[in-house]
């Protein structure tokens, strides 16, 4: 029984990590700086397609890419960013806002899946650890329960990935059609980064945050 549950946990987790690394993190690690900043890109795109709505906020939570009205929430700290990886992530939020009017239910479903990936795994982990400390939950069950929650999050996120992929596709088409990025090499880099984020998004948000921080820490130490 425990072996079967462990297998059920491992397969989705390994599959998620594999595609996120192969098609996501590996691409983002090769991204370069752009000659324009995020604010310029967002202004240009929203001017061309009026269904795109965004607002800069001093503090944003990654688990809530849009507000209740379908407006993309962009963190103020990224306003002047020229990093293609950061810009790509915010552009996808903008793409979700552009789909809001016609596909509100699907966007809400996607946002709920994203929230689930940020909230449920850490809460489950804390609850299980506390249970193990007081002797109510055996250690092996802590691993299994947390593993099942992570696997479930990955399946939920994978099932709703088509929504984010559609948002990304619309933004890529708009970027290529309007020539917001004047240099072809930079435009290609931004497009690659947008595609990469759609693969990374199959992982729970809490796992993405951990992996991104770990990667930055390794880079800083290597420097």
Burial code (b: 16+ CB inside 10 Å, e: under 16) for 113-138 equals bbbbbbebbeebbeebeeebeeeebe
Predicted structure pTM score: 0.90
Q: Is residue 219 part of a domain?
A: no
Query: 96 near 187, Cβ under 8 Å?
Result: no
* pLDDT 10s digits, 174-208: 999 988 898 999 999 999 999 999 999 999 988 89
* pLDDT 10s digits, 15-68: 999 999 999 999 998 888 999 999 999 999 998 888 899 999 998 998 999 999
Q: Is residue 221 part of a domain?
A: no
Q: Is residue 153 part of a domain?
A: yes
Q: Is the dihedral of CA 65, 71, 77, 78 positive or negative?
A: positive
Question: What range does the domain containing 166 cover?
Answer: 2-214
In the chain the first and final C-alpha atoms are separated, in Å, by 47
Q: What is d(CA 112, CA 106) in angstroms, rounded to the nearest whole number?
A: 10
* pLDDT 10s digits, 144-172: 999 999 999 999 999 999 999 999 999 99
Q: Is residue 58 part of a domain?
A: yes
**Number of domain units in the chain:** 1
* pLDDT 10s digits, 88-131: 999 999 999 999 999 999 999 999 999 999 999 999 999 998 98
Q: Is residue 65 part of a domain?
A: yes
Q: Is residue 222 part of a domain?
A: no
Distances (CA, A) of 86 to 9, 54, 100, 197, 218: 31, 16, 22, 10, 19
Q: Is residue 134 part of a domain?
A: yes
Q: Is residue 113 part of a domain?
A: yes
Which neighbouring-strand residues pair with 75? Answer: 57
């Amino acid at each position: 029984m425990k072996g079967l549950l462990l297998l059920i946990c491992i397969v989705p987790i390994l599959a998620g990590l594999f595609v996120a690394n192969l098609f996501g993190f590996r691409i983002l690690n090769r991204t370069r700086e752009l000659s324009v900043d995020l604010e310029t890109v967002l202004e240009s795109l929203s001017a061309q397609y009026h269904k795109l709505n965004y607002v800069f906020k001093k503090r944003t939570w990654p688990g809530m890419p849009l507000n209740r009205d379908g407006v993309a929430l962009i963190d103020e700290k990224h306003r002047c960013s020229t990093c293609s990886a950061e810009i790509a992530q915010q552009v996808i939020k903008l793409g979700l806002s552009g789909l809001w009017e016609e596909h509100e239910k699907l966007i809400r479903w996607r946002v709920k899946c994203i929230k689930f990936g940020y909230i449920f795994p850490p809460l489950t982990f804390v609850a299980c650890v506390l249970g193990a400390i007081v002797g109510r939950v055996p250690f092996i069950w802590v691993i299994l329960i947390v593993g099942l929650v992570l696997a479930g999050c990955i399946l939920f996120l994978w099932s709703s990935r088509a929504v984010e992929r559609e948002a990304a596709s619309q933004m890529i088409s708009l970027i290529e059609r309007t020539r917001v990025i004047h240099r072809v090499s930079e435009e290609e880099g931004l497009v690659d980064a947008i595609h990469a984020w759609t693969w990374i998004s199959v992982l729970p948000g809490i796992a993405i945050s951990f992996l991104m921080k770990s990667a930055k820490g390794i880079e800083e130490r290597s420097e």
